[in-house]
Structure 1
Amino acid sequence: MALETVATEILLLIFNPYELSFWPFNSVTRRNLINWQLVCRRWNKVLSERIIVNVNSKILGELVQYATKDVVLRELKKLGESKFDPNSIFVTAAIRGYEDVVQLLIDKGADVDAEGVVSRGRWRLRWRWRWSGPSTAIRVASLYGHVQLVKQLLNAGADVDKRGWDGASPLHCAVCNGHTSVVRLLLEHGADMTTNGLRRNIGTPLYDAASRGYLGIVKLLLDRGADIEIGVDQHETPLQVAIRNGHKSMVKALVDKGANVKVKYWGRDTTLHLAIKCKKKVKGIVQLLLKKGVDANERDDRGWTALHWATSLGWKGVVRLLIRKENVEKNCQASWDRRTPLHLAAAESNPTLVKLLVESGADVDICDRMGWTALHAATDKCCKQTVRILLRNSAKINAKGAHGETALHIAAYHGHTALVLLLLDYGADIEAGMEADIEAGMEERAFKELGFKLRKNAIRRGVKKQVKWTALDIANAKRYMGATQLLREKAGYVYPEILSNRQHSSTSPETGIMDEHLEGLERLFI
């Protein structure tokens, strides 16, 4: 049967030099397309091959995408003056960087600014968000760094600022993959450096370069006069994104060129806050920003200063750097919870930071919104070392929270015998009581803040008696035998009259709680 009479889109004589086989394609199905791609990928390895391509076939683009340049040139030249659309494979040839093929297609009348889409295959674009729509040849050539091809397209009249569906220009594409030579070439041909993309993650070329850490491109763009303050939607500048990604050398380059170090990120975080939060090369960037005059006491939207954030994240070097700086507020309280950096250090069980802050002059007795001092917070985390540091620095051991709770109550609640003993050794009041009126309609969260669980019907039953809990009562109710025994012994040793009073009053044989407390505790504790 003559080849000319075969009603197929593609007829292949394939591969095996010892066994010649035919593979007719009657339709462009997915299975056939996969087989075709495999053929093209192995083209330069076969000993014998022949292809007859219908010039109207969609598979022609696959040939350009997967075959070697010599095969593509040879097969395209076979077409001679046949009528086919050169634009159909123009973008695909640009992706592969086939300069000769591109020139051949231009000679055949291809539009240098034509848009096309190629299959995703192995040649998909590196940044997927730039791939979801059609692209021009100069755009994909810039993305893959084909310098000579970009130059060839520009000389052929390609639009240097032709933007894709997402608003990204060839300059954006070259910048995002770090192709400095292509960037320089596009700038020499007058590429616009001020355009933003149409999507939120596409800023100016300078912003894209700063976000990816391409220092050479950033310097090149700045030398060409790029606006240093324009980023994405006027909410994030190149300096802010460089700080957020921890690029110290990039930050220095931008600051040296006059970038505004006092701008706020989305109106909330200062550049110093961003540097501390980025978790990369923090100390160097913080030091650089402080030298440039950034106010270390400026607050974010929650009222936290740089010292709050450094303490919360455990950056010892940054904390040390900040507390050595003059006029840094060490007792600054947050807007809502009124916590200081010392509260945060104690709550994070970080004795090193607690010691640094205390030695620098932080007040150990400042209360937060719930009346807790740093000692309350440290005891709640059962960090004996932190508690000892605070006590050695004259923390008020019997300071009471909003509900009358002391550090001893908290230690007893957690059943931490060593902490109970430590607090008692420093003179904690064993008879200090938590007082609260259990009124109808009273919110339960006041008790839950210490972890207490109320019976669901306690309020409904209308208990209106004032209940007073000592540390011993709490340890008993929680069934912490070690803490209970220790508190009983200490009560008998330190306050013998208390023990005698308890002997004259009836107690519960199960818990040892005095009758005057039992009624309230039975209704409050599960």
Structure 2
Amino acid sequence: MYAYNSIHVPSNATQSQNLDQKKAQLFQWCVDGKCKEIRNFVEDNLERKNMLLEPNKHGVYCVHQAAGFGRLNILELLVEEYGADVNVVDENRWKPLHYAVRRKYTSQQKATVKMRDICQTKKLSEANNDLALFVTSDKFSRLVEEGVRKRSIAGLADLAEDSNEDDSSEESMDHSPDKGIIDNMKNRSFKFHPPVKYLMQKMSESDVHEDTLKQDFVNVLQHAIVHNNFEAVLEMIKHFSEHSTSDTSLSEMLNLQYESDNKWTTLHTAASHGFDEIVKVLLYYGADMGLLDERKWTPFHYAVAEGNSDAIRTFVSYAREKQDKYAVIDGLTDSPHTPMQLAIINGHISIVDYLLDEKVSLTTVENTSDTCLHLACKSNDVKLFDLIFEKDKSDLDKCNRLGQSPLHYAAIHDCDKVARRLIENEANLELYDYNKRTPLFLAVEHNSKKTLNVLLEKGVSFRIVDRSLKTCVFIAVEKDSLEALKILLTHIGDDFSILANKGDDRNRTPLHVAAEKGCIEAVNILLESAKADVFARDYQEETALHLAAQNGHKEVVKTLLGNTPRLLDQLDNKWDSALHKAAQAGQSSVVEFLLLTKTKFTKRNKSKKSALDLAALHGHLDVVRILVRETKSRYDTIRIKEILVSPTNECLNSCSYRVNL
């Protein structure tokens, strides 16, 4: 009985379901390497033969499956006997070769192929033709795979060693970059990848244009590298170097940038993933470690950023031999960061230590003004800081283009341990940045509580102001750094009240800022602990109440008016009251609250506009309704008409709302 007769199809299955089940079985046979079952199923039936050459519902072909699972016997069957196309693509535009390089060739599969070769060509073919035919069968494949697993086939190890010695010059010596790799390969069993070799050969023999083949080579090689398929990489490189008919050299091929957003070369990919053996192979065959990708990073940058120590050592060793490449190690290229800077940024202490031992420069590139010591002050790692500082102490107070020193950086990132170490080494506590802000200001701005405590304990000056005449208390309120505000209140005592009432270059006090932002907690701290002046006026003569009302912060308005009712009558330089501000901004909840205080809402400003006029002018109908309702409840009909018909007719002409008198 033929194997295909074992396919169970329900009696009520549709023709489409029947076809899908048969196709699924075919795909499974391709995965399992069952040539006999496939031949029996297909026989001379054209329809079934076509099933081998058609995709499944996912756009995958049988030849993809066979390649993906390393079934060389199925690949040969599909291509040689049934005419499968090795350049066919799935829905992801992947060819069978993409599938082949994603999976490493297993020891069982390697043993099967090697044992067949040995038995056919050297050991058995002359003595026993029947046995020679037997080793090409599926049964032999299963026996060899079982023998590899159980180590029970007599002489398997000896035959494998013989095969390694016979083809070592072909597979290893001539195509290995150095003795380290050669020795490593000798210790491997069955060092080849037949499916990749077969597919590469068939693709070269096809009618595909040379440029397409080159791009396919780079594309598939990237896949092989990503999956750390060392044998596949070697097989592809060997094939291209031996069979290419184009003018493009192997090194040029390896240095082609992959068609993607990052523009990586093969060496970028291997370095990023830390596949050291592949890095060595690529360097040997001419991959350029100095090429920049889209980010202007070299492969060495990626090796360092990802912390791939073995690849880093390989690059450094290679650069030492090739003196013209050592600038890549120092990183003094067009890159935004040097490799040393990347090691520091990512906190790779062991790599920083290694690079320093290799005399890698601490010089920064022109694209950034941060020194290595600046970057070390971001991590709060004292050991990392000490490594850098011991190599170059001259950068202790060096400022970047923003005028910030390493201590500024420690303050920004709340690195209290590093801040202490900087201060112990006599770092300047009072250095200004370009905004005339000391590290104290930046600690407050970024709410860096631990570093702020360290700076205050060490006696940093807190009375100074920045370029905008803002105090540290002002900055704390402006940046919502409430924890920092409380620390300042605890440490500076009576001076807190002085700083809390000091205005900036626009005469705004911290209370103005807190009211404008609606930060009720900051408002309470300033009123209760600093006795902040609620009548203080800014450059437009606005009080904190004006700003709170304009921005709709009802709770802040309540708090400010709580103990100071007179504040309600304060006018700014346009004669606007808090009610004018709220009405103009359409803050209906604040308007309703202010009306409860019985404020005189009919007052007009310098432009002779009342709160009602301003609400109408800006189209705030809800506020207009509130004010009209309040007008009706307070005044008689004659007075109502006088109020609603303003000198500028704002209510009648600018607002679509019509008042029924």
TM-score w.r.t. the length of structure 1 is 0.65
Q: Counterparts in 2 of 1:281-292, with a 5 A limit?
A: 282-292=415-425
What does 1:302-341 align with in structure 2 at a 5 Å threshold? 302-326=435-459, 328-336=460-468, 338-341=469-472
Which deviations, in whole Å up to 9, do the C-alpha atoms of 1:275-332 show, x marking residues without a partner? Answer: 4444xx5333433444444434333334433333322333332322222232x33233
Counterpart AA for 1:317: K
Question: Counterparts in 2 of 1:377-456, with a 5 A limit?
Answer: 377-380=513-516, 381=518, 383=520, 386-387=523-524, 390-393=527-530, 395-396=532-533, 398-406=535-543, 416=555, 419-420=559-560, 423-424=563-564, 433-437=570-574, 451=581
Aligned mates of 2:279, 2:423 — CA distance in 1: 43
Amino acid at match of 1:321: V
Contact 1:94 1:149 in 2 (8 A): yes
Aligned to 2:593: 480
Which residue identity does 2:276 align to in structure 1?
Answer: V
C-alpha separation in 2, matches of 1:315 and 1:93: 47
C-alpha separation in 2, matches of 1:395 and 1:83: 82
| Corresponding residue for residue 356 of structure 2 | 222
SS of the residue corresponding to residue 222 of structure 1 reads: helix
C-alpha distance 356-153 of structure 1, shift in aligned 2 (>3 A):
same
Equivalent of 2:432, from 284, 291, 299?
A: 299
User: 2:143 matched to which residue of 1?
Assistant: none
Structure 2 unaligned residues grouped into runs of 5+: 1-25, 43-48, 88-94, 110-191, 206-212, 243-248, 616-661
Distance across 1 between alignment mates of 2:235 and 2:422: 55
Distance 1:224-1:423 versus aligned 2 partners, 3 A rule = farther
Pair 421,79 (structure 1): closer, same or farther in 2 beyond 3 Å: closer
Query: 1: distance between equivalents of 2:379 and 2:55?
Result: 46
Identity of aligned residues (%): 15
Greater alpha carbon shift after TM alignment, 366-375 vs 259-268: 259-268
Structure-2 separation of matches of 1:78 and 1:404 = 85
- Return the alpha-carbon distance in structure 2 between the equivalents of residues 27 and 164 of structure 1: 42
Secondary structure in 2 matching 1:368: coil
Higher Rg of the two aligned structures: 2
In structure 1, what residue type is equivalent to 2:67?
C
Secondary structure of the corresponding residue to residue 367 of structure 2: coil
Higher helix proportion, which one?
2
Distance 1:393 1:79 in 2: 81
Quick one: distance in 1 between partners of 2:591 and 2:450? 41
1:176 aligns with 2:305: yes
Is the CA contact (8 Å cut-off) linking 2:54 and 2:61 kept in structure 1? no
Residue equivalent to 1:115: 253
1:107-146 mapped onto 2 (5 Å cutoff): 109=241, 113-116=251-254, 130=262, 132-133=263-264, 135-136=265-266, 138-146=267-275
Structure 1 residues 151 and 520 mapped into 2: Cα distance closer, same or farther (>3 Å)? closer
| Whole-angstrom distance in 2 between the partners of 1:298 and 1:40 | 65
- Structure 1's 305 and 232: CA in aligned 2 closer, same or farther, altered over 3 A? same
Letter in 2 for 1:222: L
Tell me if structure 1 keeps the 8 A contact 2:309–2:351. yes
Shift of 1:231: 4.1
2:370 matches 1:370: no
Q: Distance in 2 between matches of 1:98 and 1:477?
A: 69
Letter in 2 for 1:15: V
Residue in 1 that maps onto 2:276:
147
Quote the Cα distance in structure 1 between the aligned partners of 2:285 and 2:446.
54
Structure 1 residues 140 and 243: alpha-carbon distance in aligned structure 2, compared to 1, 3 A threshold? same
Deviation per CA, 1:357-380: give whole Å up to 9, x if none.
642734233112332333444455
Q: In structure 1, which of residues 338, 350, 355 is the aligned counterpart of residue 489 of structure 2?
A: 355
Q: How many residues are treated as equivalent by the alignment? A: 447
Q: Distance in 2 between matches of 1:303 and 1:211?
A: 27
* Mapped partners of 2:613, 2:379: distance in 1: 50
Deviations 1:169-212 (A, max 9, x none): 44234223221012112212325212356564xx3221232233
Tell me how far apart the structure 1 counterparts of residues 592 and 198 of structure 2 sit (CA, whole Å): 92
Q: What SS does the corresponding residue of 1:115 show, helix, strand or coil?
A: helix
2:317 paired residue number: 188
Task: Give the counterpart of 2:291 among 160, 163, 167.
Answer: 163
Which residue matches 1:40? 67
CA shift at 1:405, angstroms?
A: 4.4
Could you tell me how far 1:525 is from its partner in structure 2?
Answer: 4.4
* 1:211-250 equivalence runs, <5 A: 211-231=345-365, 233-244=367-378, 249-250=383-384
Q: Distance in 2 between matches of 1:451 and 1:232?
A: 50
Against the structure 1 CA distance between its residues 219 and 231, is the aligned structure 2 distance closer, same or farther, given a 3 Å change threshold?
Answer: farther
Deviation at 1:253, TM superposition (A): 3.0
Match of 2:397 in 1: 262
Q: Secondary structure at the match of 2:304?
A: helix
Q: Distance in 2 between matches of 1:163 and 1:217?
A: 22
- State the secondary structure of the residue aligned to 1:330: coil
> How many angstroms apart in 2 are the aligned matches of 1:475 and 1:36?
72
Aligned residue identity for 2:253: E
> Which residue number corresponds to residue 475 of structure 2?
344
* Structure 1: gaps of 5 or more residues: 1-10, 439-445, 456-473, 486-510
1:205 to 339, 345, 354: 339
Structure 1 contact 219–253 (Cα < 8 Å) conserved: yes
Q: What is the identity, as a one-letter code, of the residue corresponding to 2:591?
A: K
User: How do residues 507-526 of structure 1 correspond to structure 2 at under 5 angstroms?
Assistant: 511-512=599-600, 521-522=610-611, 525-526=614-615
Distance in structure 2 (CA, Å) of the matches to 1:92 and 1:431: 73
Where is the strand percentage greater, Structure 1 or Structure 2? 1
